[in-house]
Structure 1
Amino acid sequence: MAGDKDVEVIVGASSVERAKNVVIAKSIVIGNEATRLAVPVKRPSDEKEHTHQWKLYLRPYNQENLTRFVRKVQFKLHDSYDNHTRVVEQPPFEITETGWGEFEVQLRIYFVDSNEKPVTTFHYLRLFEQPTTAKSGNTVVNDYYDEIVFREPTMVMYKILTDESAVKKHDPKLWVTDFSHVYKRTSEVFKGLREELNDEINDLRESLKLAHQKIEKYRREMENADSNPSTPGVTFSIS
């Protein structure tokens, strides 16, 4: 752990001490698991039968206790759910529900130091198997690696975030998703998109170059026409 003397301290507008020019990233996993119910259930608040049970979660990527820096997590579900805004203040930071459809969930993460602004992110809750999901038995797993980035954190948060004494490295055996494979696959997709975008940019650049050449050609022709005026000859015939 770095001592306070190793980092320059600045005082913000709210008189809170912050670590100047310091950026710290904490690795997390956001996702959901979903299993089809043997017998669908009916909820009074929903016209359709619920076909799946799902679990939505925020978990540490490495082996550590999130409560060291996370105070609570707010999950905002689809409006069709009773009490669709759920707040979890103790680990595990997850909620379990039943449903029949897929939807986007908003997660808002609050930190132990209230001087750090909450972070908002989103997750698409999957019930059905997709090329991007994993599977464990009858359970569909849709989760992904992400990072919470602290830029010039408060000194309170700095001390917490730089203390690695209670953090163990990521253990792939504890997860269904192979995050290294997902990272590689995602990198390949982005590489392909980058190459495709570069090709389109080059095509556009060439088109702009040709257009500029035509404009210059017309401009020179107009300048030549203005500098060399000519009057058409007129012939009068008097009978």
Structure 2
Amino acid sequence: MAPSISSKRIRNISVSRPIIYGNIAEKVSEKNPLPASSPSDHTHTWKVFLADPLGNDLSQYIKKVVFKLHDTYVNSSRSIESPPFEVHETGWGEFEIVIKIYFQNDCGEKNITLYHHLKLHPYPTHADIQRAGGDEEAALRIAAAENVSGHVESIQYDELVFNEPTERMFKLLTQKPGSLLPYKSDKTPFTKVAEREELDRIDKAMEEINKLVEQRQIEFKKLEEERKKIVQL
């Protein structure tokens, strides 16, 4: 008989596993009608999920995932005990969803809690904000009007880090590669290329923000000088 895998922890070792979580939403339309049981004032269908970016089976070490929805939903705490770890719903408003991950009993790991803001409407671009004259609500309306498809994705990449895992957990975590993003892949949008492109977009946005801050500082300085002149009169 093969010896059982020990629950002894492996010291000075950390193993990470990639995950993605978030939501995908679709605006209600003829092509995407509301389910018959949904309230008539709901404007979107959506799903919230937790998954492996490469499609690997998380249930080897994840026992269940509990999604805590807004209290107005019937059975607002949804426990999903087998893949896919996801909840399908409908609604009209955005709110924060608590995602709690429970690991298999013999893995010796504590529960992990994540937070995701349900996104039903598209994020406004810098151009939208400029067109709206800096009015955030108006920029949101512009972005929503231009999102003809009604499709919105809000997905985050993260890594579960296991410090000094048990021998059993270490074996499960290292059975397949996957602790690093692939450089290129048709299976997932989360690749090194996509990561680099996203970082470039963030850098560009930061540059634009810094320029706006500098412009505002110059304007404030001029206003302050004018104020001082008026006070001296």
> Normalised by the shorter chain, which TM-score bucket?
0.5 to 0.7
The alignment yields a C-alpha RMSD, in angstroms, of 3.6
- Write out per-residue CA displacement over residues 53-105 of structure 1, whole angstroms, 9 at most, x where no aligned residue: 00111010123111111111010111111111110001100000000011111
TM-score (norm 2): 0.63
- 1:179 and 1:124, CA in 2 relative to 1: closer, same or farther beyond 3 A? farther
Is 2:163 aligned against 1:151?
yes
CA radius of gyration, larger in? 1
Residue 158 of structure 2 aligns to which amino acid in structure 1?
D
Q: Give the whole-Å Cα distance in 2 for the aligned partners of 1:118 and 1:166.
A: 21
8 Å CA contact 2:59–2:83 kept in 1: the answer is: yes
Which residue is 2:123 aligned to? Answer: 130
For 1:201-212, list aligned pairs within 5 A.
none
Q: Distance in 2 between matches of 1:136 and 1:180?
A: 27
Mapping 1:98-177, distance limit 5 Å: 98-112=90-104, 113=106, 115-131=108-124, 137-164=149-176, 172-175=185-188
Where is the strand percentage greater, Structure 1 or Structure 2? Answer: 1
2:219 match: none
Q: What is the CA–CA distance in structure 2 between the aligned matches of 1:25 and 1:43, rounded to whole Å?
A: 41
Number of matched residues? 177
The equivalent position to 1:35 in structure 2, one of 26, 37, 58, is 26
The answer to whether the Cα contact below 8 Å between 2:102 and 2:110 also exists between their aligned partners in 1 is yes
Q: Distance in 1 between matches of 2:8 and 2:200?
A: 38
Given that 2:108 and 2:166 are in contact with CA atoms closer than 8 Å, whether structure 1 keeps it comes out as: yes
* Percent identity between the two aligned chains: 35
Q: Structure 2: where are the runs of 5+ without partners?
A: 1-5, 126-142, 211-233
The answer to whether the Cα contact below 8 Å between 2:100 and 2:111 also exists between their aligned partners in 1 is yes
C-alpha distance in structure 2 between counterparts of 1:177 and 1:58, whole Å: 14
Higher relative contact order (CA 8 A, sep 6+): 2
Q: 1:169 to 1:145 in 2, by over 3 A?
A: closer
CA contact (8 A) 1:22 1:152 kept: yes
- CA distance change for structure 1 residues 179 and 88 in 2, over 3 Å: closer, same or farther? farther
Separation of aligned partners in 2, 1:181 and 1:143: 13
Task: State whether residues 107 and 166 of structure 2, in contact with CA within 8 Å, keep that contact through their aligned partners in structure 1.
Answer: no
Q: What CA deviation, in whole Å up to 9, does each residue of 1:161-192 have, x standing for no partner?
A: 11117999857433467774355434764795
Query: How many Å separate the matches in 2 of 1:31 and 1:179?
Result: 19
Q: Using the TM superposition, give the Cα deviation of residue 140 of structure 1 relative to its aligned residue in structure 2, in angstroms.
A: 1.2
> Match of 2:186, SS?
helix
Structure-1 separation of matches of 2:148 and 2:168: 40
Counterpart of 2:43, as a letter, is T
What is the Cα deviation at residue 149 of structure 1?
0.5
> Please, what TM-score do these two structures have when normalized by structure 1?
0.62
Provide the C-alpha distance between the structure 1 equivalents of 2:180 and 2:203, rounded to a whole number of angstroms: 30
Unaligned runs of 5+ residues in structure 1 are 1-8, 10-15, 197-239
Change (3 A) 1:158 1:190: farther
